[in-house]
């Protein structure tokens, strides 16, 4: 991956905040507040500053930003902002911190309108309203938070580079898994899950994107097996599933492979064939010339022709979160097209209590020319 200088990173985050500031001015709002803590994780914080978690962030309509982190040392080393105010100064009280910083930085806002995050609980919202009596506070679903979610939908160059690096490491792990299955070094669900944990860190990644799901044939009928993995045999005779992602600089990959071991029944072969067909056919529609609904309907049609139905959506966007907007679903806005810069999963799957399950998932970058499949998960036959 390309190495970005400190100045380049500073410009990347400043550009993102500038877009939000323009939105605030357009909607006559002086400032937007974002809060990340154990009660609610908000990816707006790393998106606008690079700080991983546990902080308040206030962005004014002129683009000026105040970061109020719990871990001041980490913020000074990792984050990008205009001014830092330690959270401990306000005894780790978000209401006191937000009120104080708004008072300090009010000259950066065009007016006294302040947008609070929509994920506040109603009791906390009322507390903020009381504390910020001199401000015109708003809290709405279609405001600055929604604008940020939609901004994150189209990845910038840095985000694409980070996701591709996560995908590259994920591919290395998939190759190792296939090799170690064949040599007999992987024998259980726990073996493969712990290999992923070790190898992702050995290759510069931070963590898994979510709890790894490794399910042998007795559990692969579940879309998301519970528990995520056990000490049961993996892969065993039949259909085994592995769903995992790795995170690089905050950005996650998301892949699922199926291992088809031994002589499959007619019903199992049908499931495998249809999943592969849906993956192949729907990939052709992951382009800017098609709507997201087009691809979702195509998957449904592939399965319906064989009197089968997929119990989940065809895919979803990925990024700082494992599930981002948009979903690849027939319920999406019928006018919403795949757009260059989107990175989405393509993950058709079928599941049966008798035959087990099969899912094939890869991550797809939408480009001006069409698409680029950036992961290389597959159905492995043994």
Considering the domain boundaries, does residue 132 fall inside one? yes
One domain for residues 146 and 209 = no
Considering the domain boundaries, does residue 42 fall inside one? yes
CA distance 232 to 261: 15
One domain for residues 242 and 265 = yes
Q: Which pLDDT score is estimated for 34?
A: 98
56, 18 Cβ separation under 8 angstroms? no
160, 348 Cβ separation under 8 angstroms? no
- The vertex-227 CA angle with 221 and 229, nearest 5°, equals 85
Sign of the alpha-carbon dihedral angle for 125, 126, 131, 133: positive
134: Cβ contacts below 8 Å, ≥ 6 apart: 112
Domain count, the chain: 2
The DSSP symbol for 334 reads T
Domain boundary among 103, 126, 151: 151
One domain for residues 90 and 234 = no
Considering the domain boundaries, does residue 118 fall inside one? yes
Domain boundary among 151, 178, 194: 151
Q: Which pLDDT score is estimated for 18?
A: 98
Considering the domain boundaries, does residue 1 fall inside one? no
Partners of residue 337 on adjacent β-strands: 291
CATH of the domain at 25: 3.40.350.10
Which tens digit of pLDDT belongs to each residue from 114-152?
A: 999 999 999 999 999 999 999 999 999 899 999 999 999
CATH of the domain at 356: 3.90.230.10
The DSSP symbol for 203 reads T
Which tens digit of pLDDT belongs to each residue from 50-64?
A: 999 999 999 999 999
One domain for residues 43 and 145 = yes
Q: Which pLDDT score is estimated for 27?
A: 97
Full domain range(s) for residue 34: 6-151
CA distance 78 to 63: 20
Q: Which pLDDT score is estimated for 300?
A: 98
Residue the block writes with tokens 């494992």: 322
One domain for residues 63 and 158 = no
Pick out the chain residues at pLDDT < 70: none
Q: Which pLDDT score is estimated for 58?
A: 98
Model pTM score: 0.96
One domain for residues 112 and 210 = no
CA distance 262 to 29: 63
One domain for residues 211 and 255 = yes
53, 41 Cβ separation under 8 angstroms? yes
Domain boundary among 151, 174, 203: 151
Q: Which pLDDT score is estimated for 2?
A: 86
One domain for residues 313 and 272 = yes
Q: Which pLDDT score is estimated for 1?
A: 85
Q: Which pLDDT score is estimated for 126?
A: 96
145: Cβ contacts below 8 Å, ≥ 6 apart: 32, 34, 44, 115, 117, 118, 119
One domain for residues 143 and 209 = no
Considering the domain boundaries, does residue 175 fall inside one? yes
Q: Which pLDDT score is estimated for 322?
A: 98
Which tens digit of pLDDT belongs to each residue from 359-368?
A: 999 999 999 9
One domain for residues 258 and 330 = yes
> What is the SS3 assignment for 58?
strand
CA distance 211 to 233: 19
Considering the domain boundaries, does residue 139 fall inside one? yes
One domain for residues 133 and 172 = no
Considering the domain boundaries, does residue 179 fall inside one? yes
Residue the block writes with tokens 């939609």: 150
What is the CB neighbour count within 10 angstroms for residue 280? 13
Residue the block writes with tokens 């493969």: 192
One domain for residues 242 and 135 = no
Q: Which pLDDT score is estimated for 24?
A: 98
> What is the SS3 assignment for 162?
helix
Please list the alpha-helical segments (H only) found in the chain: 6-26, 44-49, 72-78, 94-105, 122-131, 144-153, 157-183, 189-202, 266-283, 292-304
Considering the domain boundaries, does residue 272 fall inside one? yes
Q: Which pLDDT score is estimated for 214?
A: 98
């Amino acid at each position: 991956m390309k190495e970005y200088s400190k100045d380049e990173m500073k410009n990347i985050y400043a550009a993102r905040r500038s877009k939000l500031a323009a939105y605030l001015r357009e909607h006559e709002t002086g400032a937007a507040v974002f809060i990340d803590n154990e009660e609610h994780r908000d990816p707006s914080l790393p998106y606008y500053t690079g700080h991983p978690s546990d902080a308040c962030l206030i962005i004014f309509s002129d683009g000026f930003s105040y970061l109020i982190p719990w871990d001041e040392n980490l913020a000074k080393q990792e984050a990008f902002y205009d001014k830092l105010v330690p959270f401990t100064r306000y005894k780790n009280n978000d209401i006191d911190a937000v009120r104080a910083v708004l008072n300090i930085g009010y000259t950066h806002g065009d007016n006294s309108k302040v947008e609070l995050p929509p994920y506040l609980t109603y009791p906390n919202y009322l507390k903020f309203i009381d504390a910020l009596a001199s401000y015109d506070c708003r809290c709405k679903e279609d405001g600055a938070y929604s604008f940020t979610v939609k901004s994150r939908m189209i990845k910038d160059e840095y985000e694409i580079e980070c996701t591709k690096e996560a995908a590259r490491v994920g591919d290395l792990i998939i190759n190792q898994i296939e090799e170690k299955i064949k040599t007999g070094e992987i024998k259980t669900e726990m073996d493969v899950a712990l290999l992923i944990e070790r190898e992702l860190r050995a290759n510069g990644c931070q963590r898994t994107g979510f709890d790894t799901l490794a399910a042998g044939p007795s559990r692969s009928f579940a879309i998301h097996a519970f528990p995520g993995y056990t000490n049961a045999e993996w892969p065993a005779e039949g259909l085994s599933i592995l769903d995992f992602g790795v995170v690089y600089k905050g950005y996650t990959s998301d892949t699922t492979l199926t291992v088809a071991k031994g002589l499959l029944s007619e019903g199992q072969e049908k499931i495998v064939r249809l999943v592969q067909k849906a993956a192949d056919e729907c990939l052709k529609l992951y382009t800017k010339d098609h709507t997201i609904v087009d691809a979702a309907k195509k998957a449904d049609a592939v399965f319906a022709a064989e009197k089968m139905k997929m119990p989940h959506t065809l895919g979803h966007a990925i990024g700082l979160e494992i599930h981002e907007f948009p979903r690849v679903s027939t319920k999406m806005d019928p006018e919403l097209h795949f757009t260059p810069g989107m990175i989405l999963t393509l993950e058709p799957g079928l599941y049966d209590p008798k035959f087990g399950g099969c899912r094939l998932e890869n991550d797809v970058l939408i480009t001006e020319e069409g698409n680029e499949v950036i992961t290389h998960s597959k159905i492995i036959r043994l």
